[in-house]
Structure 1
Amino acid sequence: MTPFLCLAILWVWFQAGPLTDAAQLQNFQDSLGAVLRHGSLSHMLMNLGLIAVAGAVTERDIGALRSAGLALACVVLGSLAQFLITGPDFLGISAAAYGFLAYAILHSTPTEKLVQTWVLILMFLALEVWFQSDQLAIYTHITSILIGGGYAMFGSLFGGKEPVLKPMQMTHLSAVIAIIDETDDDDAREAESTLLEEGFDGMFVLQQRGQVLGVTGYYLDEQVPDIAWLSWTYLTKSHTGEGYGSQMMNNLLGKLKDQGVRKLFIATSDYDDFGKQLYADAHRMYEDFGAEVELKIPQFHGTREAKIIYGLNNPEFVPGPAEAASQKTGLRIRDGAPEAESDRVIGLVWRETDEGLSGMEDALQDARRQYAKQVSLAVPSDLSEANSDALAAHGFEKTGALKDYYAPGLHQDWWICSLANK
């Protein structure tokens, strides 16, 4: 809607030019007919800019139809107020521009700052009245601001204002990073860097009246297409305990179901912040949704911080025919690389061979040269079982498994070798 309104303003300007003599307007109908006319280029460009920016924000939040209704209400009622007080000596579409501007500002203002925002708006109007009351349609501006601001504040009377999970955009980034930083400043820095580099696909914000209350998202597994991992999921501390975290998770699971995701894994930790489990509330929420701890690796992130992975099945997933089992039972260890966010943990890279375990001693020697504390190996459960004795002989212990990771019945077994005392 907003682009068409901007095009209409430009078309009228280039077709009819400026209307420099408002005395030509004789009645209210003439004033309404002149809403797309402007007295000067600067007058037209100012209204055009306000509508292009604030109108786009408004339309994104309430849709084209309601935005058109808001613009119409501002134009008719704002023009009527000006006409009743001063007569038909005004023109331009500043009514819609100011209505959109008031909505965009107040809809994105946190509740605790509404009073200060209204004070600033009233101060701005007072300056208009004091310095330019003889040049501007002041009463149109006042009426339109009240309409746009009132709709932003009391729009729930015309439609639900419950928090809504929306796709994340660049405009949400600063609020999202601030929310993450409330809990974990390291995560906040990493999230900002990653989101700026990789974009916002799969990320969502929980938004109410323009205010971002939380963030969540997912990314698909690189190896298994119907497996997803929970991305950064945080709720602002001012709204914890209100059920919004559960709402985010529930809405996200609905989106994953629609994409055919079979299972969601959640990587977290038992980070202890001076005696307080930092992610305890999040863990309780995961468990309330039916997620279970499937893997815990002590000292993975630090001496006192374990890696924890929850698994959450999609109960509505209908599995297809089972894939034929591989006849190969061997493992060739190719090399290793540091595990993300780990405290000197090397993750091994492998490939399937006909039989037997090879390349492990070289990989362990290389890990020692990198001063690794631990070496991890994640393999399908059938290969894990076939090579369990050989892995144990190299000092590996099985620490857990991500159930049904590769396919129903085919898990991802995790083996850990501690190099601390070797």
Structure 2
Amino acid sequence: MMPVTLALCALAIIGYLGFGAASPDAPPDNLADALLAVFRHGNIRHVGLNVALLLIAGPITESRLGSAWTLVMVALSAVLGTIAQFYLVGPAFVGLSGPVYAMIACAVLTTVRPENQIWVAVAIAAVLGAEIYWLSDKIAIYPHLLSTLIGGSFAMLSSLFGSKHPTLKPMQYSHVSQVVAIINETDEDDAAEAENLLLDEGVDGMFVLMHKGRVVGVTGYEPDDQVDDVCWLSWTYLAQEYLGQGYGSQMMNDLLGKLNKQGYRKVFIATSDYKDFGRSIYAGAHRMYEDFGAEVEMTLPDYHNVGEAKIVYGLENPEFQAGEPPMPSEKTGIAISGIAPEPETKGVVGLIWQETPAGVAGLDHYLEKARGQQARIAVIALPSDLSRENAEALETHGFKEAGKLTDYYSLGLHQVWWMCSLANQ
């Protein structure tokens, strides 16, 4: 939500549509009228540009300052800029450029890294100097100048006097670029995928770790598509410069607290043993998971690619109150009805199945179809009761039990994974 930004945009549009373009031949008669003229504009391009800039800078500023402080900043820039221009130059000026400049200055200075803020401030000063030198007779210089100083001051105060401890907040679209940059520090492929999915499917369930106005980490969860009280950890990354300082642990702890309130009994964490020049890039994340009590429940060798295994951690909610276990199904058989590529793999297909009264059907046909598609491996994940009933038939077709996710479906009913190597068959 960005109520201040949306309110300013709405007032600018209403002012233009309701009262028309402001005429230079009829300037405000007094200071009160000059203050109201902040929401008037000279033409459609004038109001369009200010609204566009507000929609760019506003969400960033509100996410860092909060709506209340953003409103204070906007009010100060509008009032002080108008007073200065009115008494020092005259009443012939209109528009939201003062609040816009404050928003831009704050957004820019709270987005860049601290070590680069001085250079950005110099660049902003250079732009203002150019305006004063070449455009002082065409634009309202004092609202621009004072509002930039006010916006910059709020950015600095936010950095100095903001929360000393990082806080986990719901992710907004304005955070996407910073989140993608953080992920890209560790995994370029994940960064590209995250950017596409976040922009296309939204940011529900995602959180950012904020520290002194900056995004320093990202985490989140995805509800499981089969079981209501189970979820999966989503992209969880920390900016490289904040590693080893306890930020990752706090981020995980805060997320687990939120998941507990939503009634999730277990969190699964899918990761891998991918190595970059011999270094396991997820080793630090694995240690963090283990510190929180997560345990490796399943390792699928060569799942993502040859030499890269899929690792799944499980983390139980100790406060979850278990209900009665479901009644076991009377059906004991499975029928294979299709195959589909497994996500984030090369050459691995999953078997799609349905329950049947008894026996195994369709397995030969779809394994042959998988070989025709040059698949390396076929996998199937079954409830533990069906797995037990059909283990012999699966083994006869070359499958081996690869691991299980404990209590996946319910307490005592696990998800058992089977793998079949197709390369030598």
CA RMSD of aligned residues (A): 3.1
**How far, CA to CA, are the matches of 2:311 and 2:117 in structure 1?**
41
1:285 aligns with 2:288: yes
- How far has the Cα of 1:147 moved from its partner? 1.7
Q: In the superposition, relative to structure 1, how do residues 168 and 365 fare at CA in structure 2: closer, same or farther (>3 Å)?
A: same
| 1:220 partner letter | P
**How far, CA to CA, are the matches of 1:7 and 1:335 in structure 2?**
52
The counterpart of 2:224, out of the listed 212, 221, 226, is 221
Q: Is the 8 A contact 1:155 1:161 kept in 2?
A: no
Question: Structure 2 matches for 1:18-167, cutoff 5 A?
Answer: 18=23, 20=25, 30-31=30-31, 33-37=33-37, 41-42=42-43, 45=47, 50-51=53-54, 53-79=56-82, 86=88, 92=94, 94-134=97-137, 136-155=139-158, 159-160=162-163, 162-167=165-170
**How far, CA to CA, are the matches of 1:324 and 1:122 in structure 2?**
71
1:174 aligns with 2:177: yes
| 1:365 partner letter | E
- How far has the Cα of 1:320 moved from its partner? 2.4
| 2:42 partner letter | L
| 2:152 partner letter | G
- Which position in structure 2 is the counterpart of 1:301? 304
| 2:36 partner letter | L
- How far has the Cα of 1:119 moved from its partner? 0.7
Q: In the superposition, relative to structure 1, how do residues 183 and 8 fare at CA in structure 2: closer, same or farther (>3 Å)?
A: closer
Q: Deviations over 1:167-212 (max 9, x none)?
A: 4444433333333232222223333343444333323333445543
Q: Secondary structure at the residue paired with 2:185?
A: helix
**How far, CA to CA, are the matches of 2:180 and 2:54 in structure 1?**
29
The counterpart of 1:375, out of the listed 371, 375, 378, is 378
Show structure 2 runs of 5+ residues with no match: none
Q: Is the 8 A contact 1:19 1:37 kept in 2?
A: no
**How far, CA to CA, are the matches of 2:361 and 2:11 in structure 1?**
73
**How far, CA to CA, are the matches of 2:419 and 2:196 in structure 1?**
30
- How far has the Cα of 1:157 moved from its partner? 5.7
1:246 aligns with 2:254: no
**How far, CA to CA, are the matches of 1:94 and 1:171 in structure 2?**
21
- Which position in structure 1 is the counterpart of 2:207? 204
- Which position in structure 2 is the counterpart of 1:313? 316
- How far has the Cα of 1:223 moved from its partner? 1.3
Structure with bigger gyration radius: 1
- How far has the Cα of 1:327 moved from its partner? 2.1
Q: In the superposition, relative to structure 1, how do residues 380 and 74 fare at CA in structure 2: closer, same or farther (>3 Å)?
A: same
- Which position in structure 1 is the counterpart of 2:330? 327
- How far has the Cα of 1:137 moved from its partner? 4.5
The counterpart of 2:410, out of the listed 387, 407, 410, is 407
Q: In the superposition, relative to structure 1, how do residues 337 and 41 fare at CA in structure 2: closer, same or farther (>3 Å)?
A: closer
User: Which stretch shifts more, 323-332 or 186-195?
Assistant: 186-195
User: Which stretch shifts more, 392-401 or 407-416?
Assistant: 392-401
TM (norm. structure 2) is 0.85
Q: Deviations over 1:116-141 (max 9, x none)?
A: 21011111121222224455543443
- How far has the Cα of 1:384 moved from its partner? 1.6
Q: In the superposition, relative to structure 1, how do residues 181 and 10 fare at CA in structure 2: closer, same or farther (>3 Å)?
A: closer
Q: In the superposition, relative to structure 1, how do residues 108 and 32 fare at CA in structure 2: closer, same or farther (>3 Å)?
A: farther
Q: Is the 8 A contact 1:109 1:210 kept in 2?
A: no
- How far has the Cα of 1:399 moved from its partner? 1.9
When the two structures are aligned, how many residues end up with a matched partner? 416
- How far has the Cα of 1:367 moved from its partner? 3.2
| 1:31 partner letter | L
- How far has the Cα of 1:266 moved from its partner? 1.1
Q: Secondary structure at the residue paired with 2:218?
A: strand
Show structure 1 runs of 5+ residues with no match: none
| 2:126 partner letter | M
- Which position in structure 2 is the counterpart of 1:274? 277
The counterpart of 1:388, out of the listed 388, 391, 395, is 391
TM (norm. structure 1) is 0.86
- How far has the Cα of 1:379 moved from its partner? 0.8
User: Which stretch shifts more, 290-299 or 355-364?
Assistant: 355-364
Q: In the superposition, relative to structure 1, how do residues 209 and 21 fare at CA in structure 2: closer, same or farther (>3 Å)?
A: farther
| 1:359 partner letter | G
1:188 aligns with 2:191: yes
- How far has the Cα of 1:421 moved from its partner? 3.5
1:398 aligns with 2:407: no
Residue identity over aligned pairs, in percent, reads: 49
Q: In the superposition, relative to structure 1, how do residues 76 and 410 fare at CA in structure 2: closer, same or farther (>3 Å)?
A: same
- How far has the Cα of 1:4 moved from its partner? 3.9
